[in-house]
Amino acid sequence: MTEAVVDVRELRKTFRVTEREEGLAATLRSFVKRRRKDVNAVAGITFRIDPGEIVGFLGPNGAGKTTTLKMLSGLLYPSAGDAKVLGYVPWRRENAYLGLMTLLMGNRTQLVWDIPAADSFRVLQEIYRIPEDRFRAAVNELTELLELQELVHKPVRNLSLGERMKVEFAAGLIHSPSVAFLDEPTIGLDISMQVRIRRFVAEYNRRTGATILLTSHYMDDVVALCKRVIVIHRGRLLYDGPLADLAERMAPYKIITATLHDGAAPSTDLDSYGTVVSRDEGRVMLRVDRQVAPERTARLVNDLGDRLADISVEDPPIEEIIDRVFTSEQATVSA
Amino acid sequence: MTRYLRLLRLFFRAELQYELEYRLNFVLEIVETAVVTATSVGAVLILFSYTTVLNGWDLGAMLVLLGCFYLVQGFGEFALQPSFEKFLENVRLGTLDFALLKPASPQFQVTLRYFRVAQLAQMALGAVVVAVGLSRIPAIGLAEAIGFPIALICGFVLIYALLVALSTFAFWFVRVDNLMALYWSFMDAGRFPVDVYPGWLRVTLSSAVPIGVAVTVPAQVIAGRLDPLGLGFLILGTIAAFILASRFWRIGLRSYTGASA
C-alpha cells in the first residue's frame, strides 16, 4: 500500500457561535450578554487519499467541507482527531508543509487588487523561495495552460471574474504544490470558463501528479474530474467511494426515457412499467427499481413495438442522487 | 533576513507603481502634506514671536521636536497605517487566511505589506524642519549626534509595536476601527513636547501611547536634555515592547478562525 498523501482520522471541529433572535430587543440583550451554542461543524470523519488522486468532496452548504479543508491546510485547529498531509500535521503550520500545499478559494482572492498579477507572482516567488529558473518555468507553464498572456500585466481590478479566477489559480500553484485543496474553484463562473478551469485542473493533475481535493456545487466539475467522491452531511461522512458506484448505492433506481412516434397518448397506460416522472410531447420518463430495469425495458420495447422511436436507460442525474442523500439522511454508508 | 528585505523592496515597488498610476492624486497628497507642515511650522513661529522659551524649549529645540513629529507621523502614515488598515479589513473578510497559508512570518506579511509612498514627502519635510531647528542650536556634541538617530529609530519601532498590540484586539473583537482612530488622534497630540501637557495626559501620552516618547525623546536628545542612561532605557524598552507586542499578536492569531466556515 502506498503512503497516503492525506490521512484523516476521526477529525472533529466544534465551533462556539453566538446566537440571538431577530429584533432590536434581542440585539440589545445580545450586546450585553451573548448566548453561545456549540456547533459540530465536523463530527468525526475518517478518510485517506493516495498520491495523484482527484477526489470530489461533496455536501450541501454547511456540511463541513470548508471547515475540513481549512483544518487540512492548517488554518484551523481541530477540536479532536488526527490528520496528516504529506506526513505533516497541518495545523502546526511548518514552513516545509506550507511550501508543499495550496488552498484555493473560489470566493476569495489573494491577489492585490490594484497591481498586476505579475507583481504578486514576484512576491510569491520570494515567499516560497522559488529559484529563478523554476519560477520562469512555472509561470510559462501556467500561462500556457490557463491562457493568461496579457492578463498578468493588467491590474487585477480590471479583470473579469473568470479572468481573475484563472490568475488566482496561477498564483495558488506557482510554487508547484504537491497537494491542492480547491474550495469551489468554479463558483460564479460562466459555463465555458467552468469548462476551461476543469480542463486545466485535469491537465495539471496529469502533468504534475499533484493530489487534489476539490469541493464544488457544480456536479459537472465532479463528474468531469473525480473518479472518487467523499460525501459529507452535517459533519458526518455519508459515502466514500467511486463516483460510478454512488448512484448504485444511493439511488436504487434507474430512469427509462422512451420517445414515441405518435406522442404519448394519454390512453397509453405506462404505470405498470414504473412510476411516471414526466410526460411531455412524445417523451416519457419512468422511474423503475434498479433490479427490474432490464426486464421493464425489454417489456416496453416489446409492448410499444413500432410506436417506439427511441429508448434509453440511465442512472438518475447526479444532482438528484445527492439531493436524495441529503434529504433522506441515510445512515452512514461507506464503500 | 535578506529574504524579508527583498520582500519589503517588492512590496514597496508595487505600491510605488500603483501610486504613480494616479499622478494627480500623488501630487496632491504631497502638496497637502507640504501645506499642513508649513502651517504648523508657522504656528510655532507665531508662538515664539511672543515668547522665547516654552517650558524650557526654545525655538530651535521646538523646531527639532516638530520635525521629529513629522518624521514619526510620516513614518506611521507611510509605512504603518496602510498595512494596519488592510489588516483589520482582512480579519473581517477572512482574507488573512492567505498570509497564514504562506511559509513566511504572518506578522511580517500583514503589518509591513502596504505603503503610502507619497507620505515619504512628510518625512522629508520633517527632516528639513529638524535640520532648520538644528541650525539654530549652537553646538551639538558627538553623543547627541549618535543618540538622535537611535532615539528616532526607537520611536518608529515603538509606534509599530503599539499598533501591533492595538490591532491584535481585532482577532477577538473583529471591529476595532475606533481603537485605531483613538490612536491616530493621540498621535496628533505628539506635536508638542509631552511636558507641556498636564500630568495625567502626559502619563497617557508617553506610557499607554508612546507617541510622546517617540517624538519627544529624540528632540530631548538633541536639546541635551536626555542622559545616556535614559537613552539606554529607551533602547531596552523598545526591544521589550517589540517582543511583547509580537507575542501578543501571535496569541491573538491563535484564536483567529476566519470569517466563514
Q: Name chain A contacts of B10, Cβ cutoff 8 Å.
A: 119, 122-123, 126
**pLDDT confidence tier of residue A200, bands split at 50, 70 and 90:** very high
Question: How far away is chain A from the Cα of B83, in angstroms, using its nearest Cα?
Answer: 12
Same CATH fold assignment for domains A6-247 and A252-314: no
What is the average pLDDT value for chain A, to the nearest integer? 86
Among the ranges given (A177-191, A193-207, A251-265, B143-157), the one the predictor scored with the smallest mean pLDDT = A251-265
pLDDT greater than 60 at residue A287: yes
Between the alpha carbon of residue A1 and those of residues A6, A50, A253, B61, the distances in Å are 14, 9, 35, 77
Q: Domain A6-247 classified CATH 3.40.50.300? A: yes
**What cell numbers appear for A83 in the block?**
490528520
Q: What is the mean pLDDT of residues B233-251?
A: 93
Mean pLDDT, residues B169-175 taken together: 81
Nearest CB among B7, B21, B100 relative to A93 is that of B100
Cβ–Cβ of B10/A110 closer than 8 Å?
no
Residue A333 has pLDDT above 50, yes or no: no
Domain ranges of chain A: 6-247, 252-314
CB B3 within 8 A of CB B103: no
Q: Fill in the amino acid letter for A221.
A: D
pLDDT band at A329 (very low <50, low <70, confident <90, very high): low
Among A105, A175, A184, pick the best mutation site for testing chain B contact (most B Cβ within 10 A). A105
pLDDT reported for residue B261: 39
pLDDT given at position B241: 93
Cβ atoms within 10 Å, residue B94: 18
Q: Is-contact A229 A222, C-beta < 8 A? A: yes
- Is the pTM for the entire model greater than 0.90? no
Q: Other C-beta atoms within 10 Å of A17: how many?
A: 13
CB atoms within 10 A of CB B106: 18
Report the pLDDT value the prediction gives residue A332, as an integer from 0 to 100: 44
Q: How much is the pLDDT for B210?
A: 64
> What pLDDT, in 10s, does the model give residues B41-51?
888 888 888 88
B256 Cα to chain A: minimum distance (Å): 8
Using an 8 Å CB-CB cutoff, list chain B residues near A99. Answer: 103
pLDDT confidence bin for B161, thresholds 50/70/90:
very high
Give the mean pLDDT of B132-161: 86
pLDDT at A69: 94
The beta strand positions in A50-98, using DSSP E, are 54-58, 80-85
Q: Which residues of B touch A70 (CB under 8 A)?
A: 97, 258, 261
Across chain B, what does the average pLDDT equal?
83
pLDDT average, residue stretch A79-101: 94
Distance, in Å, from the CA atom of A95 to the CA atom of A182, rounded to the nearest integer, reads 20
Write B231-234 long-range contacts (CB < 8 A, 24+). Answer: B231/B147, B231/B150, B231/B151, B234/B151, B234/B154
Q: Distance from A67 to chain B by nearest Cα, in Å?
A: 5
What top-level class would CATH report for the domain A252-314?
alpha beta
Helix (H) or strand (E) holding A203: helix A191-208
Residue pLDDT, tens place only, B98-135: 889 999 999 999 999 999 988 899 999 999 999 998 88
**For chain B, domain boundaries:** 2-254
